């Protein structure tokens, strides 16, 4: 007997949107749960990863139209002509709840005749945030974004728990496996990307081992703004025959098309005098567990190294987990996530969540249960310069309690933050 469906944060968005929109495309990496979520709302499902279904629809894309709706077209990018069929169908009939399209890759340029703008709304789905993994938040990002949020609650999550969540994965089909099987599945997930998914995206991988080395170097740069040159140099140290920058750029583009790379862009404030700003993205993979797997970490080795040589990696991966959660919650609230760093590196804030009106919440991330004045100095600096544009400033940490410091800076354990 299959387990009952557990609602995701994205379901709240679909509740709000699909009743009035004819077509929604749900994008995200393979394995995040797109098909399972979309199937809850579908009367008919066409799975284009089935070769026979793909062949039939590829030969006659308009053959999708007679099926009962809502119609779910799963892995639509395998027969990209269906996108234009759906677009034209929406032109003819704009009633809500007609088409759901799920895809784990963006088709190559030119595969569809039209972007679908104005007809097909695109919605990103990411791996499970902590509130979707059985944690019980007491603080809503929605309340924080409105200003004046009360910060309270007690978390029983420990460093070991956070280490376990990092390596356990936010992919629903992987996270509940026993540790040995989970590690094998994550390793196989990466190998499948290199051996099958990237070639299917139209990129020839002549040396798969070189791409794997590059991915490991990218994983090691998680939550940093390391240059792509530095990542390439790290990936190819000791290799006399290095791939060219153009080759690795093609790999990077393909990995973004597959939603495997999920970099955090730099914040570009309007009307604020903050000096010269760095524009480099912060590097993130779709799931912190992929990065941990590529670097060979287990929950035990992360927790054991929290105060030693591996502590730096634990801190970066914890920030990656925070970033994943904030992105899931922010999207639900029509907000965006970026990072801030000035050109000289004198001032930086780990994550910025921006409202559509330009107001922001600034977040620092700390792998520690305590917060001191040094941890909040950049938040205070930003608050002084932004004034009322900064709604709140918060340190997300691993401590036991949520509270406000006397200086007004909030402290929130990650386990207590929800949508």
What's the CA gap between 327 and 353, in Å, rounded?
A: 9
d(CA 167, CA 160): 11
Please tell me whether residues 229 and 107 are part of one structural domain: no
Tokens of 325: 């959660």
Domain shared by 119 and 151, yes or no: no
- Of 105, 124, 143, which residue is a domain's last? 124
What pLDDT score was predicted for residue 275? Answer: 66
pLDDT at site 307: 47
pLDDT of residue 247: 82
Contacts of 88 (CB under 8 A, 6+ apart): none
Q: Express each pLDDT in 383-411 by its tens digit.
A: 999 999 999 999 999 999 999 999 999 99
Mean pLDDT value of segment 368-378: 96
The band of 344, judged by pLDDT with boundaries at 50, 70 and 90, is confident
Q: Is 35 helix (H, G, I), strand (E, B) or coil?
A: helix
Shared domain for 112 and 138, answered yes or no, is: no
* pLDDT average, residue stretch 81-106: 95
Name the domain boundary from 93, 124, 155. 124
CA angle 144, 142, 360 (to 5 degrees): 55
Tell me, yes or no, whether 4 lies in a domain: no
Model confidence pLDDT, tens digit, residues 98-127: 999 999 888 665 555 456 677 999 999 999
Whole-number Cα distances in Å, 50 to 2, 73, 75, 78, 253: 21, 12, 10, 10, 26
Q: Is residue 372 part of a domain?
A: yes
Q: Give the whole-angstrom CA distance, residue 255 versus residue 333.
A: 27
What sign for the dihedral angle of Cα 287, 293, 299, 302? Answer: negative
Among candidates 79, 127, 118, which has minimal Cα distance to 101? 79
Half-sphere exposure of 91 (CA within 13 A, CB side): 9
- Same structural domain, 88 and 137: no
Taking residues 15-25, report their average pLDDT.
Answer: 97
Token pair of 393 as six digits? 């400033």
Residue 113 sits in the same domain as residue 255: no
Six-digit token string for 253: 């583009």
pTM of the full predicted structure?
0.94
Residue 327: what are its φ and ψ, rounded to 5°? -65, -40
Q: Of 101, 124, 147, at which residue does a domain stop?
A: 124
CA dist., res. 153 & res. 143, Å (int): 15
Residue 2 lies in a domain: no
Rounded-to-5 percentages of helix, strand, coil across the chain: 40, 15, 40
Residues 269 and 373 grouped into a single domain: yes
Percentage with pLDDT > 70 across the chain: 94
The Cα–Cα gap between 142 and 376 comes to 22
Q: Is residue 340 part of a domain?
A: yes
Cβ–Cβ < 8 Å for 120, 86: yes
Q: Which of 133-137, 304-308, 333-337 has the lowest mean pLDDT?
A: 304-308
* CB of 212 closer than 8 Å to CB of 318: no
Please check whether residue 71 lies inside any domain of the structure: yes
The pLDDT > 90 percentage for the chain reads 79
Residue 334 has pLDDT above 60, yes or no: yes
Please, what is the average pLDDT of the chain?
A: 92
d(CA 324, CA 327): 5
Long-range CB contacts (within 8 A, 24+) of 193-198: 193/255, 193/258, 193/260, 197/30, 197/104, 197/105, 197/258, 198/251, 198/254, 198/255, 198/258
Which of 117, 103, 101, 112 lies closest to 69 in space, CA to CA? 101
Q: Are 380 and 392 in contact (CB under 8 A)?
A: no
What's the token pair of residue 100?
Answer: 């759901």
Q: 171 and 93 share a domain?
A: no
The answer to whether residues 306 and 194 belong to one domain is yes
Out of 157-166, 194-203, 213-222, 227-236, least confident range: 194-203
Q: Residue 40: give its domain's CATH number.
A: 3.40.50.300
Task: State both tokens at 4.
Answer: 């009952």
Domain residues for the domain of 72 are 9-124
Whose tokens are 């750029």? That residue is: 249
Residue 1 lies in a domain: no
Whether residues 195 and 100 share a domain: the answer is no
Q: Is residue 230 part of a domain?
A: yes
Q: How far apart are CA 119 and CA 136, in angstroms?
A: 37
Same domain, 146 and 21: no
pLDDT tens for each residue of 256-313: 999 999 999 999 887 666 767 878 999 999 999 999 999 999 999 998 875 444 568 9
Neighbours of 399 (CB within 10 A): 22
Q: Report yes or no on 238 lying in a domain.
A: yes
C-alpha atoms less than 13 angstroms from C-alpha of 295 in its C-beta half-sphere = 25
What pLDDT was estimated at residue 235? Answer: 85
Please tell me the distance from the alpha carbon of residue 45 to that of residue 81, in angstroms, as a whole number.
17
pLDDT per residue over 222-267, tens digit each?
Answer: 999 999 989 988 888 777 777 788 888 888 998 999 999 999 999 9
């Amino acid at each position: 007997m299959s387990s009952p469906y557990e609602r995701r944060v994205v379901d709240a968005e679909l509740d709000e949107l699909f009743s009035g929109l004819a077509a929604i495309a749900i994008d995200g990496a393979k394995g995040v749960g797109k098909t399972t979520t979309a199937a809850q709302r579908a009367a008919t499902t066409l799975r284009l990863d089935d070769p026979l279904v793909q062949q039939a629809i590829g030969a006659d894309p308009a053959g999708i139209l007679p099926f009962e709706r809502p119609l779910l077209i799963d892995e639509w990018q395998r027969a990209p002509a269906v996108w234009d069929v759906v677009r034209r169908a929406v032109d003819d009939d704009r009633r809500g709840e007609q088409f759901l399209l799920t895809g784990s890759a963006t088709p190559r340029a030119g595969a569809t005749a039209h972007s679908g703008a104005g007809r097909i709304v695109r919605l990103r789905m990411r791996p499970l945030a902590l509130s979707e993994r059985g944690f019980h938040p007491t603080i809503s990002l929605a309340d924080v974004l409105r200003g004046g949020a009360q910060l309270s609650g007690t978390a029983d999550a420990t460093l070991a728990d956070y280490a376990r969540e990092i390596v356990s994965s936010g992919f629903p089909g992987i996270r509940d496996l026993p540790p040995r099987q989970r590690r094998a599945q994550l390793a196989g997930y990466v190998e499948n990307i290199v051996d099958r998914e990237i070639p299917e995206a139209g990129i020839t991988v002549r040396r798969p081992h070189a791409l794997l080395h590059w991915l490991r170097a990218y994983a090691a740069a998680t939550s940093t703004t390391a240059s792509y040159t530095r990542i390439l140099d790290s990936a190819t140290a000791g290799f006399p025959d290095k791939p060219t920058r153009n080759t690795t750029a093609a790999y990077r583009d393909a990995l973004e098309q597959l939603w495997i790379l999920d970099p955090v862009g730099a914040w570009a404030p309007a009307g604020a005098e903050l000096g010269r700003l760095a524009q480099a993205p912060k590097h993130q993979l779709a799931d912190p567990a992929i990065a941990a797997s590529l670097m060979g970490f287990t929950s035990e080795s992360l927790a054991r190294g929290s105060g030693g040589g591996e502590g730096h990696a634990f801190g970066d991966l914890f920030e990656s987990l925070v970033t994943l959660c904030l992105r899931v919650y922010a999207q639900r609230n029509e907000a965006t996530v970026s990072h801030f760093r000035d050109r000289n590196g004198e001032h930086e804030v780990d994550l910025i969540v921006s409202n559509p009106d330009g107001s922001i919440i600034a977040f620092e991330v700390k792998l520690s249960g305590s917060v001191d004045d040094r941890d909040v100095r950049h938040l205070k600096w930003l608050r002084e310069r932004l004034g009322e544009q900064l709604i709140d400033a918060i340190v997300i940490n691993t401590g036991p309690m949520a509270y406000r410091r006397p200086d007004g800076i909030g402290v929130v354990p990650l386990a207590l933050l929800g949508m």
